[in-house]
Structure 1
Amino acid sequence: MPANISTSAITLLTGSYTPDSGGEGPGIATLRVDPTTGRPTYDDEVRPLPVSGASFLAAHPSLDVVYSTNETEAGGVSAVARHDDGALSPLGDPVSSGGANPCHLSVHPGGEWLLTANYGSDTAPGTVAVHRIGPDGRLLEATDLVVHQGSGPVIGRQEGSHAHQVLVDPAGRFVLATDLGADAVFTYRLDTRTGILERVAVNPLSPGSGPRHLDFAPGGDLVFSADELSSTVTCHRYDAATGVLTALSSVPATTARDVANQPGGIVASPCGRFVWVTNRGADTVAAFRLAGTTLEPAGEVPAGGTWPRGLTLAAGHLLVANQHSGTLAVLRVLADGTLDQPHPSVSAPSVVCALAL
């Protein structure tokens, strides 16, 4: 089985758009995932925490603390404490993300820095922010804010830069930030003493591709991109010594025709042989098999809802956050990397992401 298997129930936190951020969700909710079936059920003993615009979640590597974007025009990030009984509570007040519409964040492996991608707006460029994390997990002062520059050929989406994801490479050496508006992946080095980002490379991608999210193969030598605007999935060679990406192969994200499609979440299997992508528009999850450095389609199944966005691997299943239908669906991963038809989904209004703990 190409997925992680657990023998006990898995805690799952979902993030959703709240009424003050254009959705109907509760913010952050807690579920339990059955390790055998992968099916999630709400933990009725844990009340949802109303975090505004909780569009992406990331866990601290050593503390029971989770960080959430506050995806609004004002832009913020929140720290959330998880208690022994599973209860959630704010850990300090939200802090400014330094830009508009923060849509992704990650914690540096050392646990001392939070990295946030601010998508920006029609008038504000995409940016990447760095915040210091205190010993108890609280968010402290911002230490850096880098502004992306660039544009692309897609009218209405690429007049300016739009940072969409920020993550640390598997070696912990570089920080990579995708930019949907600039058709590029920016590579930075983080000074872990000062929290300052130094740009070391700008990796151009195909014009009009609109890179949204990346995921690394386990070895760290390959990285896969979900290209939102060209509706493709691309395999890149990653040079861990320089932070440079080189595109190797690209395939359509969906076999659906005559439908406007935008890939959303992307996950590489722990064994490194498979990649899965959500398709917003086609409303599917597509599986791909890696043959050397070439991605080959390996099947496509319904997402169990509409506008599938976040994709999370847990207990040998993929959990799909279907934003527009407000459902969290379950797809079993088969031994050959293909996907079973979705199990009955659970209601999750305006859900956009999930984090397995």
Structure 2
Amino acid sequence: MPAHPSTSAIRVLTGSYTPDSGGEGPGIAALLLDPATGRTTYDDQVRPLPVSGASFLAAHPSLDVVYSTNEAETGTVSAVARDGDGTLSPLGDPVSSGGANPCHLTVHPGGEWLLTANYGSDTAPGSVAVHRLAADGRLLEPTDLVVHQGSGPVTGRQEGSHAHQVLPDPAGRFVLVTDLGADAVFTYRLSTVTGTLERVAVNPVRAGSGPRHLAFAPGGDLVFSADELSSTVTCHRYDATDGTLTALSSAPATTAADVVNQPGGIVASPCGRFVWVTNRGADTVAAFRLDGTTLEPLGEVPAGGSWPRGLALTGGHLLVANQHSGTLAALRVLDDGTLGAPHPPLSAPSVVCALPL
């Protein structure tokens, strides 16, 4: 490894479950991706930061600050500063997420608010928290906590609400929250003065589908969902004037038979023509082409490991975080939307997400 990364290398942070959160990973680690070859290596100049239960990472839009969920029954979130050489250090102490098992977070486009989705537990419903951010990105006081209600027909997974992702729409007007337990996508308006959420719509989805994550098409008029419990991918029309969704088409996430499959991460291409989703169970990444509003399967390739969870697009590659095998794989994206075979994957114990910087 050279003393300094190549100027063409892409910096990537990975999040993993740590020993105190049921995994074997280091927390947050720094990697380098060579976009010419798809080879990933650890950045030897940056020590991992032992953030407990770092199951999802999000970057501040204008500061060298990254935020991490600390997934646990008593949930917290952390802010992490990045120096010019990539060095990671805590930025203040972790703060309460207001709920159980925070699993996703994002910074509102203006950079002043952190929004966190708490999955919940058997005794605590899913919820969404808002925290004010200081000028340096430090986490300040919570300003709102919205608790979801709802259930679905899938025994053992939908007895109560489970917020799974919080995502501002492309215009920054509304915030969408998927709820796997309630079979719904909730739409909120965030007050950028008070940091409070106003519910403006509840969008029911197909019963038993369990929406996990969303990905917007570039124009913002279409949004795709990875449906964890029905093992499908769905294309929805998004109305940016009122924050409502209308399902248009759906396709199986995998063609694998005799396997219990749960889609995980989902990504839409910058051109808006392709969608990719990870399949936990089939252990593949599936590609789809959008024909109008119809999802057409393009096939699927091995994920480079077992239980592919997180998915990120950068440098012409999809980065796949394979949780159970503890491997990070880079799949080259071809011009027709199909995927090439992975470069030999990198050992990354209990890895669950990847964040290109």
* Structure 1 and Structure 2 fold alike (TM over 0.5): yes
Matched-pair identity in %: 86
Rounded to whole Å, the distance in 1 between the matches of 2:82 and 2:225 is 32
Rounded to whole Å, the distance in 1 between the matches of 2:258 and 2:201 is 37
Match of 2:152 in 1: 152
The answer to whether the 8 A contact 1:7-1:35 is kept is no
Rounded to whole Å, the distance in 2 between the matches of 1:314 and 1:7 is 15
Query: Which amino acid letter does the alignment assign opposite residue 83 of structure 2?
Result: H
Rounded to whole Å, the distance in 2 between the matches of 1:248 and 1:332 is 29
Rounded to whole Å, the distance in 2 between the matches of 1:195 and 1:102 is 19
Match of 1:319 in 2: 319
Answering whether residue 194 of structure 2 is matched by residue 212 of structure 1, we say: no
Deviation of residue 99 (structure 1)?
A: 0.3
Any idea what SS the aligned residue of 2:344 has? strand
Query: Which amino acid letter does the alignment assign opposite residue 237 of structure 2?
Result: R
Match of 2:71 in 1: 71
The answer to whether the 8 A contact 2:200-2:243 is kept is yes
Q: Deviations over 1:52-107 (max 9, x none)?
A: 10000000000000000000111000000000121000000000000000000000
Q: Deviations over 1:189-210 (max 9, x none)?
A: 0000000000000000000000
Deviation of residue 8 (structure 1)?
A: 1.8
Rounded to whole Å, the distance in 1 between the matches of 2:273 and 2:113 is 31
Answering whether residue 57 of structure 2 is matched by residue 57 of structure 1, we say: yes
CA shift in 2, pair 1:251/1:7, >3 Å:
farther
The answer to whether the 8 A contact 2:61-2:111 is kept is yes
Any idea what SS the aligned residue of 1:182 has? coil
Rounded to whole Å, the distance in 2 between the matches of 1:339 and 1:45 is 31
Match of 1:190 in 2: 190
**Correspondence 1:29-68 to 2 at 5 A:** 29-68=29-68
Rounded to whole Å, the distance in 1 between the matches of 2:316 and 2:168 is 25
Match of 1:9 in 2: 9
Q: Deviations over 1:268-322 (max 9, x none)?
A: 0000000000000000000000000000000100001000000011110111000
Q: How many residues align?
A: 352
Query: Which amino acid letter does the alignment assign opposite residue 40 of structure 2?
Result: P
Greater relative contact order, per chain length (Cα 8 Å cut-off, separation 6+): 1
Deviation of residue 7 (structure 1)?
A: 7.3
Flag as ranges the 4+ runs of structure 1 deviating above 6 A.
none
Match of 2:3 in 1: none
Rounded to whole Å, the distance in 2 between the matches of 1:40 and 1:73 is 33
Deviation of residue 213 (structure 1)?
A: 0.1
**Correspondence 1:1-357 to 2 at 5 A:** 8-357=8-357
Deviation of residue 266 (structure 1)?
A: 0.1
Deviation of residue 160 (structure 1)?
A: 0.1
Rounded to whole Å, the distance in 2 between the matches of 1:117 and 1:138 is 19
Please list every run of 5 or more consecutive structure 1 residues that lacks an aligned counterpart in the other structure: 1-5
Any idea what SS the aligned residue of 2:345 has? strand
Deviation of residue 40 (structure 1)?
A: 1.2
Any idea what SS the aligned residue of 1:331 has? strand
Rounded to whole Å, the distance in 1 between the matches of 2:8 and 2:96 is 37
Rounded to whole Å, the distance in 2 between the matches of 1:234 and 1:19 is 36
Rounded to whole Å, the distance in 1 between the matches of 2:9 and 2:46 is 15
Rounded to whole Å, the distance in 2 between the matches of 1:267 and 1:7 is 26
TM-score, structure 1 normalization: 0.98
The answer to whether the 8 A contact 2:38-2:343 is kept is no
TM-score, structure 2 normalization: 0.98
